[in-house]
Structure 1
Amino acid sequence: MFAPPGEDLVNQWESEQARLRLQVIEEDTEDWQRSPDFSGLERVGGVDLSFIKGDDINACAQLVVLSYPDLEVLYEDSQMVTLTAPYIAGFLAFRETPFLLEALQRLERNQPTLLPQVVFVDGNGLFHYREFGLACHLGVLSGLPCVGVAKNLLQVQGVYKNEEHQSQIAALQKGGDSFPLTAASGKVLGKALRSSNKSSKPVYVSVGHKISVDTAVRLTHSCCRYRVPEPIRQADCLSREYLRTQFP
C-alpha cells in the first residue's frame, strides 16, 4: 500500500499539470482527421492498465494497435509493471503515464511502421478538474493525437450526474448521438456519446491532444462495435488475459 502523498507532492503535480496543459492542442492537426471517412488513417492504438485482484501496485500495462477501419489487431505489448505512485483522483496520469509512454516508445524503436496515428486512452482528457487528464498527459508527452474515453461520468467543473444529465442520456436515440459536457465557465470539455445502437449507456469522450472534440467523437463512434471503442476494449481484454495466464 502507498502512503498518501504529502502536500508538497500534490502541489508539484498540480504545477506540472498546469505547465503541460499549455502544450495541449485542441484542434485537428492531421489530414485524415479532416476527411469525412478518415481517409489516410490506418492504425489506431489503445492503452490500458489491468491489476491483479487485491494488488494495487503490480499491473499489466497494455498497448494494442489495430488496423483501421477493419479493427484487426496488428500489434500487442503486455508488460508487467510496478507502480510507484498512489491513485489520487485527478492525478491518475502520474501513476499510469510512464508505463504507457514506455510501451509507445518501445514500439517506435522496434517497429516504427506500426506506431499508431491516434491513441485511445481509458480515461479522461480535457474533461478533468484542471483540464489535464491522462489522455492529455500521454498525448503531450508522446506527441501523438490522443482521445480520452471514460466509462463513468467524472462530476467536475459544474457537470453533474443529475436529472437533467439523465434526461439528456435518455434523449440519445441511436449510435453516434451525443450531447456536450459543458463546464460552469461555458466551455465544452467533452461529449457524452451513445457509442452503439445496442448500448444505451453513453461513454464520455474528451480531447487528449492534437484532435478536436467533434472529430474525437466521430472517430470514437467509428471504432465502436460495442459500447467501448475497440482499441480500448482489446487493450482491456488482452491485459486481463495476460494476467489470467501469468497469475492464475
Structure 2
Amino acid sequence: MARSETEPPEQAPLRRWEREQAQLKANVIEEDTEEWQKDSTFAGLERVGGVDLSYVKGNDTIACASLVVLSYPDLEVLYEDCQMVTVSAPYVAGYLAFREAPFLVEAAQRLQEREPGLRPQVLLVDGNGVLHHRGFGVACHLGVLTGLPCIGVAKNLLQVDGLAKDEQHKGQIRDLQMGGDVFPLRGTSGRVLGMALRSYNKSTKPIYVSVGHRTCLESAVRLVQSCCRYRIPEPIRQVRRQGQLGDGDPSLSWETWPVS
C-alpha cells in the first residue's frame, strides 16, 4: 500500500479522523476468539483471505482494490475480486486506513453477497496492526469494521515507539538463522508491538507481523509462518498479484503506498 507528495496533511479532516480512530480502537480485541486458533495445527481453519490496494504507477488516485480467499492449509485460490477504484482522500501518515479501508470493506461485502460460503475466517493485511503511531493501523481498522480476525504483515519496519533500523535491529536480523525464527519488537514504552519473522529459509529479510483484531500475537505469527511458501505469505502474495493484473490492461504498471 510508493508515496508521492500530494495534498498537505492540513487539508485532511484530521480532527474527525482522530476521533473516529480513537473510537474504533476501543473495539480492538488482542486475543484469540476462534476455536481454530486454540489448536496447534489450526484444525477447523479452512479459508484465509488477503487484501490490498495497488495504485497505477504515477497515479495516486486510480487503484485496484483486491481480495483473495485461499484454502487452508493447501493455499489454493478459491476466490478473487479486483475492482478499479478512484481514491479521493489524501495520504496522511498514520491515517492510511481512511484512504484505503473503505474500498477493502466493500470488497469483503461483495464477497459476502456473491459467495457467502467463501467468507474468510481470517484476513492477512498488507500493512500494520497495533504496530502503529497510535496503536491502530489498517489491519486493526479493517478487523473492527469487518468483524473478522485480522493480522498485519509488513515488509518494512514502521519506526514508532523508539523502534529503529539501527545496528541493534540489524544484528537481531542477522541472528535469525532459519524460517520460523523471530524476535519481538519491543518499544521504549515496554510494549511488544509485533514480531520480526524470518518467514522463509532462503530469505534473509524478515517480515513484520502485528495483531490486527481478534488474535493474539503468538497465533498471528504461527499462522503467517504456516502461510509462507516464500518470504511473503501466500494470501498477500496472491492478492498483490491479482491487484497488479488490474482490469486486464497490460499497459498499466503498479505500486503500493506506505503501510501506516
1:13 equivalent among 17, 26, 31 = 17
On the 8 A contact 2:82/2:247 being kept in 1, the answer is no
State the partner residue of 2:190. Answer: 186
Change (3 A) 1:90 1:66: same
Instruction: Work out whether 1:214 is the aligned partner of 2:218.
Output: yes
Q: Which of 59, 62, 71 matches 1:58? A: 62
125, 132, 138: which one aligns with 1:121: 125
- Give the paired residue count: 248
CA displacement at 1:83 relative to structure 2: 0.5
| CA positional deviation for 1:3 | 2.7
Deviation at 1:7, TM superposition (A): 6.7
Cα distance in 2 between the residues matched to 1:17 and 1:188: 21
1:74 corresponds to 2:78: yes
User: What amino acid does structure 2 have at the position aligned with 1:77?
Assistant: D
- Asked whether the 8 Å contact 2:12–2:92 carries over to 1, the reply is no
Shift of 1:27: 0.3
Shift in Å at residue 11 of structure 1? 2.1
Superposition deviation, residue 88 in structure 1: 1.4
Q: Measured at CA, do residues 102 and 8 of structure 1 come closer, stay the same or move farther in structure 2, by a change above 3 Å?
A: closer
With 10-19 and 227-236 compared, the bigger mean Cα shift is at 10-19
TM-score calculated relative to the size of structure 1: 0.97
Q: Aligned partners of 2:163, 2:248: CA distance in 1, in Å?
A: 37
Measured in 2, the distance between the counterparts of 1:5 and 1:163 equals 32
Given that 2:7 and 2:91 are in contact with CA atoms closer than 8 Å, whether structure 1 keeps it comes out as no
- Code of the aligned partner of 1:41: L
Give 1:245 shift.
2.5
CA RMSD of aligned residues (A): 1.4
Offset of residue 242 of structure 1: 2.3
Q: How far apart are 1:17 and its partner, in Å?
A: 1.1
**Are the counterparts in 2 of residues 2 and 85 from structure 1 also a CA contact under 8 Å?**
no
Unaligned runs of 5+ in 2: 253-260
**Residues 195 and 226, structure 1, Cα contact 8 Å, conserved in 2:** yes
- Structure 1 stretches of 4+ moved >3 Å: none
Structure 1 equivalent of residue 161 of structure 2: 157
Aligned to 1:29: 33
- In the TM superposition, residue 5 of structure 1 has moved relative to its aligned partner by 3.9
Aligned to 1:240: 244
Matched, 1:135 2:139: yes
| Equivalent-residue separation in structure 1 for 2:48 and 2:141 (angstroms) | 18
Does the aligned pair in 2 maintain the 1:52–1:243 contact within 8 Å? no
Please report how far the alpha carbon of residue 160 of structure 1 lies from its aligned counterpart in structure 2 after TM superposition: 0.8
**Residue deviations 1:119-153 (CA, integer Å, cap 9, x gap):** 00000000000000000000000000000000001
Between the two proteins, what is the percent identity of the paired residues?
63
Q: Which has the higher contact order (CA 8 A, sep 6+)?
A: 2
User: Which stretch shifts more, 216-225 or 80-89?
Assistant: 80-89
Q: Which amino acid aligns with 1:190?
A: G
Residue 231 of structure 2 corresponds to residue 227 of structure 1: yes
Partner of 1:3: 7
Does the alignment pair 1:172 with 2:176? yes
Q: Unaligned 5+ residue runs, structure 1?
A: none
